[in-house]
Amino acid sequence: MISAERLPLQGLLLLVLLLPGLALASAGRITFAVGKVDIERNDQTLQARRGFVLESGDTIRTGNGRAQIRFRDGGYMSLQPETVFRIDEYRFSGEADGNERSFFSLLKGGLRAITGLIGHRDHNSYRVRTPTVTIGIRGTGYTVLVDANGNTHASVGEGEIVLKNPHGELRLRSWQSARSRRDDAPRPAPQRPYLPPQPVQVYTPEYQISDERDENGNPVIVTGSRLQSGPGYAIAHVAEPTGQGATLLTSQGGITARFDTNSGLLNYSGSGTNTGADIGTAQLADVGSVNSNLGWGRWTSGTSTIAGSTFREVHYVVALMPTGPLPTTGTAFYGLSGATTPTGNGVQALGGFRAILPTLASNGLVQGAGPNDIIAIDFGNRQILSQFDLVFTNDTVSVDAFASLQGATNPTQSFFANSTGNTCPQGCSGNGQFVLGGNTVDSTGLVYGISTPGGEIHGAFGASRGGSSAGGAPAF
């Protein structure tokens, strides 16, 4: 066996010249894997780990787990539990030279994806086969699900996909959906396929639960992410009054916060009169924290006070404020870390809450976003954008929230929501507050309030920085 550490530089160069396909053999790598995820390669079954290099011919089986893949051309893909996905052929030299290929097969389960460089110039260079249809991708974000009966359900975020089988062809453009059954042509569908993310974290008194899971699918205990009581925090909250008063949605910086041993917020005080809050007789729920500088949660099942007024339900995000100036260049993406269960008088008609689903990547509005990214901050243009779905039993509410980047707290300038059902048939309005955490702004969160014909919906979530856009294809 040759040790790369001892091979002279000339030898390394000669090896590359003699084996030019070596550097290009990889298709991508696993950037995230939880639960049972196996890679079938030739006659071997390998366990997927973060950083695992994928090749053409590999079949990924997720079992009870999940996996995220970043391909060489910059594309992302998120595989759902109980999915069988095969990389049929992948070729990419580092640029779109006409020889590139992204040919995949989805045999079972579901995926969400956003394309990279492959397919933007030559539309025939990117395709996904399922048991009922071949899908051509035209440079976009898309979702595909193969159900238990082998039928295919697909939708497109931004761009275009084409579904084709021996019985017919169907072209889908932005926000359209379709299904393809056996022995039938692809047909339009009224709703997008539902692919749930990992469940929303809930509060437990023993430890914090992260978004990551171990090889057995169990939540990973976070160490070093707890919040410390003291000054220098900023908070945003949306609060439902105990009486007939108006909902309070506001933010405040420069507070002194007190937390329990699990980062649950107990109270805070500001610099002026009547600028504090206390949990009172309420209980903590849906508590989480990340990076030791951002936390979220809910005060519920009791009466709490904010600025002298009483409230029955409070969703909050609290962050340790950046002490220096914010970055002035680059775009950062933040993956969903945890969320509170939505409440409000508009929730009852929606049925039970199922999940919060990041859609920043699938909507295709921001280049470089990954499948789990829920917030993007463009530091150069001083803008913040968040896109997500609130999935309920009876309907799905899709949200776009935009703010001008100002500092530790940032009120939304525009906020729009719509739904696939009757919740927001003509669209709904809302408001929100973004909060930034950490000196390098590696954490952020949003509290939101949505006004629907049936009443209001309130909630909060936290997110952690997953990387910034750098352009070009990643190295493997």
Residue 129 contacts residue 151 (beta carbons within 8 Å):
no
Evaluate if residue 200 carries a pLDDT over 60: no
Evaluate if residue 13 carries a pLDDT over 60: no
What pLDDT does residue 466 have?
58
Looking at residues 418-429, what average pLDDT do you find? 78
CB environment 98-116: b (16+ within 10 A), e (fewer): eebbbbbbbebbbbbbbbb
Percentage, residues of the chain above pLDDT 70: 83
Of the candidate ranges 97-106, 184-193, 204-213, 264-273, the one whose mean pLDDT is the lowest: 204-213
pLDDT band at 202 (very low <50, low <70, confident <90, very high): very low
Evaluate if residue 474 carries a pLDDT over 70: no
What pLDDT does residue 366 have?
66
Number of Cβ within 10 Å of residue 134's Cβ equals 17
What pLDDT does residue 357 have?
87
Computed over every residue of the chain, the mean pLDDT equals 81
Two tokens at 255? 């507070």
Helices (H) and strands (E) in the chain, counts: 1, 36
What residue segments make up the domains of the chain, in order of their start? 21-189, 209-468
Tens of pLDDT along 34-71? 788 999 999 999 999 878 999 999 999 998 888 888 88
Helix (H, G, I), strand (E, B) or coil at 99: coil
Number of Cβ within 10 Å of residue 395's Cβ equals 18
pLDDT band at 195 (very low <50, low <70, confident <90, very high): low
Distance CA 71, CA 26 (A): 9
Classify 21-189 by CATH class: mainly beta
pLDDT band at 428 (very low <50, low <70, confident <90, very high): confident
Tens of pLDDT along 93-126? 877 677 889 999 999 999 988 787 887 767 788 9
Distance CA 171, CA 156 (A): 10
Evaluate if residue 400 carries a pLDDT over 60: yes
Looking at residues 275-293, what average pLDDT do you find? 92
For CA atoms 327, 331, 335, 339, the dihedral sign is positive
Tens of pLDDT along 309-321? 999 999 999 999 9
Tens of pLDDT along 337-368? 899 999 998 898 888 888 888 888 776 656 77
Distance CA 263, CA 443 (A): 15
In 261-396, which residue ranges form alpha helices assigned H by DSSP? none
For the chain, what percentages of helix, strand and coil (3-state, to nearest 5) are there? 5, 50, 45
| Side-chain half-sphere CA neighbours of 120 within 13 A | 13
Of 251, 262, 252, 198, whose CA–CA distance to 229 is shortest? 262
| Side-chain half-sphere CA neighbours of 299 within 13 A | 28
What pLDDT does residue 58 have?
96
Q: Cβ neighbours of residue 433 under 8 Å, at least 6 residues apart?
A: 236, 238, 249, 250, 251, 317, 409, 410, 411, 412, 446, 447
User: Tell me, what amino acid is at 405?
Assistant: L
Looking at residues 201-205, what average pLDDT do you find? 35
What pLDDT does residue 274 have?
62
Distance CA 176, CA 191 (A): 8
Residue 313 contacts residue 300 (beta carbons within 8 Å):
yes
Distance CA 251, CA 191 (A): 36
More confident of the two residues 368 and 198? 368
Residue 64 contacts residue 48 (beta carbons within 8 Å):
no
Mean pLDDT: which of 1-5, 183-187, 466-470 is highest? 183-187
Looking at residues 84-100, what average pLDDT do you find? 87
CB environment 350-387: b (16+ within 10 A), e (fewer): beebbbbbbbbbbbbbbebbbbbbbbbbbbeeebbbbb
Q: What is the Cα gyration radius of the chain?
A: 24
Percentage, residues of the chain above pLDDT 90: 41
Evaluate if residue 234 carries a pLDDT over 90: yes
What pLDDT does residue 75 have?
80
